[in-house]
Structure 1
Amino acid sequence: MNHVVKVVSVNVGTPKTVMIDGKPLTTGIYKQPVDEPLTLTKLNFAGDGQADLVHHGGPDKAVCVYPSEHLSVWERLYHCSFAAGAFGENLTISGLTEEHVCIGDVFAVGTAVVQVSQPRQPCFKLAKRHGIKELPLKMQETGYTGFYFRVLQEGVVTQGDILRLVKRSKTPLSVQYINRIAYIEKSNVEAIQTIVEEPALSKDWREWFSNRLHQLKR
């Protein structure tokens, strides 16, 4: 990884209830950029929160990350604006996409140390927020999902900070590859076996892939 990876924006927000399609929806997907330094704990950034703690948040999903490189792709496709934070991410970054980041990669950013734990699983709230029903499925198909960090060392992160790769997994499995096996090559037993053996993979995704492996072997 020879190029500079940078924090374009740090985005936080607490859950709120909005009316969509005439129904109330409580969600933490509306994140706003913050200019000042923010404390990052094992669970989240100061001032951030999730509404659905079953599918979002927790130590393995402390920080949602989205590459800024994808924003122009969605703008061209849907003819509307996608700014930093549009995908409910905490960190909008540049210089690092799913193709080049691997499960288990450890980065120093600001005074914190973080580790890639899993791809982001696009949910229906993204479709609701942007009024684009197919958006979550399109993110899966393209592999432009973003990913999550767990926090190894708490610290302070600011817009403009550089992400420095500290350590890489012995079996580098890119987020793009994991997405391909998750959504496209769903019956690739050998690949799934390799993925579940990656120690840095989140508990949820290990269970998800393990269950699929069990079903395929029956």
Structure 2
Amino acid sequence: MPREYYWKDQQESSAIGKNKVSEVYLSKAGFEHDGVANTKFHGGPDRAVCLYPFEHYSLWEKEFMQRLEYPGFGENITTTGMKEDKVFIGDVFALGEAVIEVTQGRVPCSTISKHNGIDRLLKRIVETGYTGYFFRVLEEGRITSDAEIKFLHRVQNKYSVLKGNQLLFHDKGNKVEIEEMLQLEALSTEWKDRFKKLLCTV
């Protein structure tokens, strides 16, 4: 749940700090007892579950020569073998009893840098597109800490999370592909709004 942090002598409320639990219920609104501080940018049905790939931890630790505590990015789950270039918008997975669907890449904020004590971390996450990503919940259910995440099916294989991040952060003038992204049924409302705004500037 949200709590108060002191970063650079400033007090801020955030729910980035997660605690491990042995079992939890996942509803379409998100994990029970898992809150958000800023509902404008976090939470909601399209962002009910946040995943961050485990492989990125060693990358950032090597680059910044600093040990990172898990989970360091406010994620609900951390996995291997599911980096942003391997997972596509609309991919569906089973997680314990629940079924979840990829909706968007995470749009990172400065809280990540503050929480980990690395000023340049946010900039590097945006540059690389290693943001992690969100799911909506298609079927609710209980999840245990030893539950596996299993791939169920894929609806398209062109727009991975990494490809979406590239369009959103770096290839903003690519009208054709942005219009194609907007046709993806699984795309979150937030990303649809962001891409529509980009089209207005092209």
DSSP-derived class of the 1:96 partner: coil
Equivalent position of 1:121 in the other structure: 107
Structure 1 residue 147: Cα displacement: 0.2
Task: Give the match's secondary structure for 2:138.
Answer: strand
Distance apart, 1:83 and its partner CA: 3.2
Matches within 5 A, 1:21-36: 21-34=8-21, 36=22
Asked whether 1:81 is paired with 2:67, we answer yes
Distance 2:54 2:124 in 1: 17
| Runs of 4+ with >6 A deviation | none
Task: Say whether the 8 Å CA contact 1:68–1:84 is kept in structure 2.
Answer: no
Contact 1:59 1:150 in 2 (8 A): yes
Query: Which residue does the alignment assign to 1:91?
Result: 77
TM-score w.r.t. the length of structure 2 is 0.96
Q: CA deviation at 1:15?
A: 0.1
Distance 2:86 2:193 in 1: 24
Corresponding position: 1:143 with 2:129: yes
- Structure 1: runs of 5+ lacking an equivalent: 1-13
CA-to-aligned-CA distance 1:162-211 (integer Å, 9 cap, x gap): 22221212354100100111111111111101111111000010011011
Structure 2: stretches of 5+ with no match in the other structure: none
**Aligned positions of 1:58-73 closer than 5 A:** 58-73=44-59
Read off the aligned partner of 1:205 and give its amino acid letter. Answer: W
Kindly indicate whether the alpha-carbon contact (under 8 Å) linking 1:112 and 1:154 is maintained by their aligned counterparts in 2. yes
Superposition deviation, residue 60 in structure 1: 0.4
2-structure distance, mates of 1:171, 1:195: 12
Aligned-partner SS, 2:30: coil
1:195 aligns with 2:181: yes
Count of residues paired in the alignment: 202
CA RMSD of aligned residues (A): 1.1
